[in-house]
Structure 1
């Protein structure tokens, strides 16, 4: 069908209906979302009649990014032709008019709307010569992109209290949803080839279409909770595919930065194929933020490169979305993510623990110097052994989304009084004579499980390898945890917390803050010469 053939979006066909196969009449969208072999046959016909209209992901009911950014709008036309874009409000009152030239040979036009306050509904009309295409019921608000693997693709139908959550859809008509179809490509595409759900007002049916299809529960709940805090429209864009490693979502540029090009993987795991087909097409969209839930596939692929590949993906997406939106999407695009939950109760390997650590670029807490403008929902305490979708797919997505929206409000929206991080160590002090290790945390602590051994120390004399031993908690007071170092004769070389595939039962890890947020896992192994035998040696984290 040629690269500029797009069978999606609101398109006006410059063809007599009699030339078209049955069912391809006036409204392209009616058949385009059931993309089928028919499309191939229509292709030649469509090229005869120059196609005019918006790109695939502009449609009725959509949300465009509000001020301070301007929303980018683009589409297809006759090379060289002038396109007029008109935004009109109630009663057809013209709010804004823009003109754009269709560029050859791509046959695309682009314009940036002036920044608009939140609200609507508006009509957006593009005209070229005698042809007009109008999108209706368009609102301005914040647009969030949700991406990742199956825990992001898991739909509202699959989660805890699904029936109540689906029934609640009707109360949120201003949280609009859109889902790209899973697709892969060996080259970067400029537009989506297929769409699973065009822009829609949420209903029980489109939020619970089927398992792992649309609409993403984490994305929906994040949008819903943000709407409750912000009280203006939100547009949610889902682009997720189960079982996919980060390499598939990364551009070749990002992979090169981590020395990872040239791998032989196939299908949706091939490097860059999902970047090419599902992310690159969206770059012209003005965004407010990204939510990401991915990493399970990398617990057995390039696990120890994730501390490079993940920060590289974030930096690369930011640069690409900023450039693609003509500078409208901010350079430090807020990027939220879910730290991995659990998989197997007695998982022998520590690949989940390592990946959780690498998700923070080995610093344990975000935002940090290597990952500015990010926020994280800890999920290691939300395990669900009896999930019908397998224990790697916990059904409590409400707490995941709640923790994510706290981070979004603090990091993306700058709310000063929102606590979004759990307690994190700020220093450790060894009392050798008493065989104790005192760890000071950033917040007041709640000691939720007294019978669990979540802390471990590595005691040895170099160069022998680490032997990890449990270090029982003997006291928790205010911000301080005291560990007993029984059996630790030599140096304490390292310290770790919750370092396991399944660190604790549901909402029952050892340490939380008073807002119910868990202390994230950590590994402290860069102790110069170990915790020394001075009575009060201090180690700053």
Structure 2
């Protein structure tokens, strides 16, 4: 009897302490997690500062010599908006109530780029081919800042404990704070994001903030608003029972099953689940203006090329609608590796450029690894993304794309393919070439009856000339259409042609 009384008293004490802690958390003055020392705010956009405290509290915010006071709503949320500002800094933000004060220091105003996707975007600088040399050089720019939103629970091949399962269900998966650029912060940050930001900062001299929100293995659908997916009946099975849906990659379902194998609830959530990463990481950022997005993802959707096309278009539209403007969206075409569907997927990504406005694609197959889905040459990929942004966002006169096929015509037994250099001032293609002047490789022909054959192709100025084998009726020219390819067509800027297919007229 005495033991029972002691047990009940202990329960009451624990409940009281939990309630007390909860009340303290609800009344504590906080800013949204994206606000911390060393942050970068987006220039030329109204600056919204927001957070939480007890409902009905007056909150005073000071920034750039201006003061705003607001009263929190019934849920304790508060926000104030300051006018758009040009680049500059460092500045401070002060936020106070009658009894509390929070200060955010060393703030820059510049351009904020969101770096998202799966493992190749998350691939750390320290592991990249050029990473150790870059870190050893120690040339870190004060005006380049990093916010790495890391997963707080590993999605490795292990079962989660109850605390991890609970955290995932609360959407408390991503966490991080802004850092100045130094050896420690750069080492574990996205290599592609780092090199992209470094190049943009060098060419524009504008402070740059990079936000990394990427998760290895995550499928496209995990980054889309679940409510949007629910509007399309074809995704019903994916949403109601995603762990058994053939619309979700086998590997993703198998890994999730392992992670949540200790779960007691049938509604246990997982970051590979449709809509999860959107809710956990994108929603908290949509009140925070950005300059644009760089994206490297697709490996977990390559099994279904046509489905990915729909999902990727949905994702870009979804994000732009949530932020409220059509920011640029630059993505990486998948690399090359000995796996099925990769040529078709790369070609599909190229075609999406025509259906997604204000987008650009960086080619990466020439840095591929036949066996490793994580090629280590990230510097070149980040810099190719930067070229797209420099040309299209910053309006610099640079060549940002390799040769783009314009037209393929059949005349007198030979096919001629004319190329141009994409958009911009330097769009007219002067000369085609191969890397190190090696023999041209990578071209194939597809006949009207579906037979695929290698092509005898040669360069003639800004055209490719292909002799048609006698008796063959050719419908399509294919380029870089092997899963792992050594195709080697470049332009004078040293940029490769994309994997492509083009109909012969």
SS at match of 2:151: coil
Whether 1:309 and 2:303 are equivalent positions in the alignment is no
SS at match of 2:346: helix
Whether 1:358 and 2:348 are equivalent positions in the alignment is yes
> How far off its partner does 1:196 sit?
4.7
User: Per-residue displacement from partner, 1:409-443 (whole Å, max 9, x unpaired)?
Assistant: 1122222x111111111111102x4x211111112
Higher relative contact order (CA 8 A, sep 6+): 2
2:369–2:484 Cα contact (<8 Å) kept: no
Partner of 1:21: none
SS at match of 2:300: helix
Whether 1:120 and 2:110 are equivalent positions in the alignment is no
SS at match of 1:430: strand
Q: Give the one of 330, 333, 338 matched to 1:336.
A: 330
SS at match of 2:115: strand
Whether 1:401 and 2:386 are equivalent positions in the alignment is no
* C-alpha separation in 2, matches of 1:493 and 1:277: 47
TM-score by length of 1: 0.76
**Residues 491/194 of structure 1: CA separation in 2 closer, same or farther (3 Å cut):** closer
> How far off its partner does 1:518 sit?
0.4
* C-alpha separation in 1, matches of 2:104 and 2:395: 33
After TM superposition, the structure 1 = structure 2 runs for residues 95-110 of structure 1, keeping only pairs within 5 Å, are: 95-105=65-75, 107-110=76-79
Unpaired runs of at least 5, structure 2: 1-13, 154-163, 244-252, 257-270, 421-428
> How far off its partner does 1:453 sit?
4.0
Whether 1:290 and 2:290 are equivalent positions in the alignment is no
Unpaired runs of at least 5, structure 1: 1-37, 89-94, 209-213, 323-330, 526-530, 532-538
Whether 1:202 and 2:181 are equivalent positions in the alignment is yes
After TM superposition, the structure 1 = structure 2 runs for residues 126-525 of structure 1, keeping only pairs within 5 Å, are: 126-182=95-151, 193=172, 196-208=175-187, 214-256=188-230, 259-263=234-238, 264-265=242-243, 266=253, 267=256, 268-300=271-303, 302-322=304-324, 331-344=325-338, 347=339, 349=340, 351-360=341-350, 362=351, 366=353, 368=354, 370-384=355-369, 391-415=372-396, 417-431=397-411, 433=412, 435-442=413-420, 443=429, 444-448=431-435, 451=439, 453-460=441-448, 465-473=449-457, 475-487=458-470, 489-504=471-486, 509-525=487-503
> How far off its partner does 1:182 sit?
2.1
Partner of 1:34: none
SS at match of 1:310: helix
User: Per-residue displacement from partner, 1:357-381 (whole Å, max 9, x unpaired)?
Assistant: 2223x35xx3x3x111111110011
* C-alpha separation in 1, matches of 2:22 and 2:286: 26
2:152–2:174 Cα contact (<8 Å) kept: no
**Residues 186/116 of structure 1: CA separation in 2 closer, same or farther (3 Å cut):** farther
**Residues 183/115 of structure 1: CA separation in 2 closer, same or farther (3 Å cut):** same
> How far off its partner does 1:278 sit?
1.6
2:313–2:356 Cα contact (<8 Å) kept: yes
1:179–1:239 Cα contact (<8 Å) kept: yes
> How far off its partner does 1:288 sit?
0.7
> How far off its partner does 1:221 sit?
1.1
Partner of 2:58: 82
1:179–1:197 Cα contact (<8 Å) kept: yes
2:173–2:280 Cα contact (<8 Å) kept: no
SS at match of 1:403: helix
SS at match of 1:499: coil
The Cα RMSD (Å) is 2.6
> How far off its partner does 1:355 sit?
1.4
User: Per-residue displacement from partner, 1:428-481 (whole Å, max 9, x unpaired)?
Assistant: 1102x4x21111111231133654541222213xxxx411111211x3122111
2:302–2:308 Cα contact (<8 Å) kept: no
SS at match of 1:121: strand
* C-alpha separation in 2, matches of 1:168 and 1:199: 22
* C-alpha separation in 2, matches of 1:120 and 1:175: 12
User: Per-residue displacement from partner, 1:311-356 (whole Å, max 9, x unpaired)?
Assistant: 211111100122xxxxxxxx11111111111222xx4x3x111111
* C-alpha separation in 1, matches of 2:231 and 2:456: 41
2:434–2:440 Cα contact (<8 Å) kept: no
> How far off its partner does 1:82 sit?
2.0
* C-alpha separation in 1, matches of 2:182 and 2:174: 18
SS at match of 1:456: strand
SS at match of 2:211: strand
Q: Give the one of 38, 41, 52 matched to 2:29.
A: 52
> How far off its partner does 1:195 sit?
5.2
1:180–1:237 Cα contact (<8 Å) kept: yes
> How far off its partner does 1:99 sit?
2.3
Q: Give the one of 38, 63, 66 matched to 2:43.
A: 66
User: Per-residue displacement from partner, 1:287-307 (whole Å, max 9, x unpaired)?
Assistant: 11111000111122x332112
**Residues 207/171 of structure 1: CA separation in 2 closer, same or farther (3 Å cut):** closer
